[in-house]
Amino acid sequence: MPTSEARSGEVAIRRSHPAWCESENECGTTALHLSGLWSVAPRGDEVIQVRAGLWRMDVGPAGAEGVAVELSVGEDVEWWPIDLAQARALVRVLNDLLRNADRASSRAA
């Protein structure tokens, strides 16, 4: 019966609604929880804007969650949801790359 399935699905979504979700009105029907996006703008005049937030999709018994990475230039916006393991690996890769960049620039100075 589709009606009882929908009802039990809604109960499951409400029970596991994360505190950081800002799409409360929509996630009850889409099962996609989204946080606000945090801006990455150390100078404030960056041509390429970077923002990141949390997402979680209530699908299947385990669901899926991760970090949404948004890159934009003007009205050109790309938005990709990567999983938590990828997000953690991305942090490690960025740290390694930045260490290499710092080492190269201190050698050049």
Of 5, 6, 15, 21, the residue at the interface with Zn ion (CB under 5 A) is: 21
Q: Going by C-beta distance under 8 Å and a sequence separation of 6 or more, which residues neighbour residue 50?
A: 39, 40, 41, 69, 70, 71
User: In whole angstroms, what is the distance from residue 38 CA to residue 49 CA?
Assistant: 11
For position 27 contacting Zn ion by CB under 5 A, the verdict is yes
SS3 of residue 61 by DSSP: coil
Of 33, 55, 58, 67, the residue at the interface with Zn ion (CB under 5 A) is: 33
Residue 5: CB minimum distance to Zn ion, A: 20
Q: Identify which of residues 19 and 108 has a Cβ nearer to Zn ion in the complex.
A: 19
Binding residues for Zn ion, rule CB under 5 A, total: 4
Residues 51-80 that bind Zn ion (CB under 5 A): none
Q: Which two tokens stand for residue 29?
A: 């029907």
Interacting residue ranges for Zn ion, rule: CB under 5 A:
17, 21, 27, 33
